[in-house]
Every structure is written in structure tokens, then in C-alpha cells.
Amino acid sequence: MCDRNVNWVGWYRLFIQGWSAQMPETCVVNNICGTNYPLWLRGGHPIVGDGVVSRNVCSNNFNDCCYVKSYPIRVKACPGNYYVYEFVKPTTCHLAYCAEVRSKYSSYTVIKPVNVTTDDLSFDPCNNYTVLDDPWRFTSNSINNYMCDKNVNWVGWYRLFIQGQDAQMPDTWGAPES
């Protein structure tokens, strides 16, 4: 895979099979994470009090762990023990952002959004989102009254909740689990 072909816009949170994930902070061997040159975070993750920080990303060439350097990315630690990343296009192809599982996401605080742009350094996508909690969105809902998002004026960031519980979009195809 090559993350140079992705049109990166905004902030991203990493998940692997429903588990909260983060970029590795140490050298990653070649040919894993679905790419020839997996990118890892050089300089470590920030703590919540650091705010938004810039970090370099690197990949090794079998001899030097930071031989391949990409453009810096911005990273923010969020309350709840997770991180968000403002990814950018890597400098060349065959580079992709790598992730590793660190903790299961377990807590949340619902905070209504404010009208800011992502260019504003005070903007925090962890805290500035609109709650999307329509019960009909739940995968086990089998009503015959079909809904449509075509006419929704989507603006900003959204966080999914079902019956007061944190939710996420399905990442597999198939019947919902019982």
C-alpha cells in the first residue's frame, strides 16, 4: 500500500479491529503494515498537556531506522488515552502509516462543537464534534422505513453513539453479530 495516494484531510484516530491504536514510536521492520516501508513516529507521542505537536515520521532501509524521512505530521493526545493524527502525504510511494494496538477505548465525554476551521491551532477534533445518535443507524435495526443521508448538510466532525454507548462504523461486511 502507498499512503501517498490518499487525500489526507483533517484529523484521524487509529483503530485495529475495534481496538484503539497508535503509531509505533520505535523503528519498524520493512514489509509489514501492508507496505514496503512502514512509517513510525519519531520523537514519541505527546501528553494531553502538550497540545498539538509536530513529529517527524521515519521508515528504515534495513540499515538505518530513519533513512526514509517523510514530512512532519501533527499529533495530539486526547483525554481518554488515545491520539489523533493530522496525516500528510508521504514524500514517496511505498510508504504507509503503521499502527499498533495499545488500549481498548472505554470512556468518553460528549462535548458540542464550536465553529472553527482545522487550520485554527485551538481546534481539537477530540472535543469539537457533533453527536450522531440516531437509533435507526444501529446495524441490528431492521425497520422497513429506509433513511437517507443524501440531503444532510454534513459540516465538521461527528461522533457515533447508539443508546448512549460509543459506536463506530462497521469495518467488515456481513450480518450483524447477535
What confidence tens digit (pLDDT) does each residue in 99-143 have?
Answer: 988 644 433 333 333 344 445 545 677 777 777 776 667 666 655
pTM above 0.85, yes or no: no
Q: Are residues 97 and 19 in the same domain?
A: yes
Q: Are residues 58 and 140 in the same domain?
A: no
Q: Are residues 17 and 68 in the same domain?
A: yes
Spatial separation of the C-alpha atoms in residues 27 and 123, rounded to whole Å: 31
- Give pLDDT tens digits for 17-41: 778 889 999 988 888 888 888 999 9
> Taking Cα atoms as reference points, which of 139, 115, 113, 136 lies closest to residue 126?
113
Expressed as residue numbers, the domain containing 99 is 3-103
Structural domains counted in the chain = 2
Cβ atoms of 57 and 37 within 8 Å: the answer is no
Q: What is the pLDDT of residue 104?
A: 45
Q: Are residues 8 and 90 in the same domain?
A: yes
The separation between CA 165 and the C-alpha centre of its own chain, rounded to angstroms, equals: 19
Q: Are residues 148 and 94 in the same domain?
A: no
Q: Is residue 28 part of a domain?
A: yes
Cβ atoms of 138 and 168 within 8 Å: the answer is no
Q: Are residues 28 and 76 in the same domain?
A: yes
Cell of 17: 479491529
